[in-house]
Amino acid sequence: KNQVEQSPQSLIILEGKNCTLQCNYTVSPFSNLRWYKQDTGRGPVSLTIMTFSENTKSNGRYTATLDADTKQSSLHITASQLSDSASYICVVDLQTGANNLFFGTGTRLTVIP
Amino acid sequence: TAGITQAPTSQILAAGRSMTLRCTQDMRHNAMYWYRQDLGLGLRLIHYSNTAGTTGKGEVPDGYSVSRANTDDFPLTLASAVPSQTSVYFCASSDMAEGDTQYFGPGTRLTVL
């Protein structure tokens, strides 16, 4: 069964600290793995996209890694800011097209001063 | 650029009534999607359209219908709402030229009583 699981479910960190969010998937065959950020009351916004052949992609303080062999991805946030408080969603594309995306339930990150 | 807009922002609807959620994009993306997001679950695809004039069923299509008369608009209709359709609905669009990255609207919060 194609699934995307994220951990932890929620996380609280101090401003300025780093954190890493995890994503494990069983989607196969997959073409892309994406990370989205969703602020409360807003739609998700794309942070990174990696093809199955890439193993890292950065977007400012956000760095995503991918290990296609173990079917794991992580999103590392460096020097967190209050504005990083949001849900982070891992999304895996089935090779058959953009209408075959599998969404994780997200990690709710809260950054406190 | 407005990107992708949805209306209404929120709505309370009596069970059995019909309603159309509106979605418009100004990015000339070929593909559009409707998702619902429920607490504890990942985004689930309701219907999609790969290009104007075509539509397809997603993971949870029952009770919903869509049309794609032109590139910009993709309305979602609930013919006879039921309480289980209480959710937050997100419209999204994508284009192959942008790696099929989906751009999401701000969402419509629907409560069916």
Q: Does B48 touch chain A (CB under 8 A)?
A: yes
Q: What are the two backbone dihedrals, phi and then psi, of residue A24, each rounded to the nearest 5 degrees?
A: -115, 140
Task: Output the pLDDT for position B101.
Answer: 87
List CB contacts (< 8 A) between B58 and chain A.
99
Task: Output the pLDDT for position A99.
Answer: 65
CB A99 within 8 A of CB A48: no
Task: Output the pLDDT for position B99.
Answer: 73
How many other CB atoms sit within 10 Å of the CB of residue A14?
A: 10
Q: Which two tokens stand for residue B5?
A: 């807009």
Task: Output the pLDDT for position B19.
Answer: 97
How far is it, in rounded angstroms, from Cα A58 to Cα A56?
7
Q: Which residue has the tokens 């969402």?
A: B107
Q: Does B104 touch chain A (CB under 8 A)?
A: yes
User: pLDDT tens, B39-71?
Assistant: 888 899 999 999 999 999 998 999 999 999 999
Q: Does B22 touch chain A (CB under 8 A)?
A: no
Task: Output the pLDDT for position A29.
Answer: 83
Q: Which residue has the higher pLDDT, A74 or A51?
A: A74
The answer on pLDDT for A9 being more than 70 is yes
A46·B102 Cβ contact <8 A:
yes
The answer on pLDDT for A49 being more than 70 is yes
User: pLDDT tens, A87-108?
Assistant: 999 999 887 665 678 999 999 9
User: pLDDT tens, B12-42?
Assistant: 999 999 999 999 999 999 999 999 999 888 8
Do you find a cis peptide bond into A113, omega within 30 degrees of 0?
A: no
Neighbouring C-alpha atoms within 13 Å toward the C-beta of B111:
5
**Which are the contacts of A11, defined by CB distance < 8 A and separation ≥ 6?**
A19, A21, A107, A108, A109, A110
